[in-house]
Amino acid sequence: MLLAAFPFELRRDAFRADPEAGLTALFASLDGAPDPREGERASPLIGRPEMRTVSRQPAAVGVRCGWALQSAEWLADCVAEAVAREAELDPGLRATRSPTGARSAATSR
């Protein structure tokens, strides 16, 4: 599992003092959230206490974050079954080569 946290200023000090405890406490406060201590750690905890806001013009009209999130959802839908079975991802990944294929693969479940 991949966990990410974007703590607001009121939790920032807890993350700075002890990032591991801050992450665990944040997820413990969320209904139905996974317990970070139960997963297998693949890398050290990475944090950036200060992130400046950067805004850019869209590359094309209508292409925004929503498209990235939709594409990520299609990808997850297409490979979820293979990941759960620890099977080959190639068939699901082939379905993501076109949005139509990804949508049909995701909705056929």
pTM over 0.85: no
Domain housing 8: 1-53
Q: Are residues 38 and 6 in the same domain?
A: yes
The C-alpha atoms of residue 65 and residue 88 are separated, in whole angstroms, by 29
The single residue listed with the structure tokens 């992450």 is: 23
Q: Are residues 11 and 44 in the same domain?
A: yes
Q: Are residues 48 and 69 in the same domain?
A: no
State the pLDDT at residue 79: 86
pLDDT in tens, 58-109: 666 666 677 778 778 888 888 888 888 888 888 888 877 766 665 555 555 5
Q: Give the count of domains, the chain.
A: 2
Let me know: does 79 contact 87? Beta carbons within 8 Å: no
Q: Are residues 2 and 39 in the same domain?
A: yes
Asked whether residue 59 is domain-assigned, the answer is no
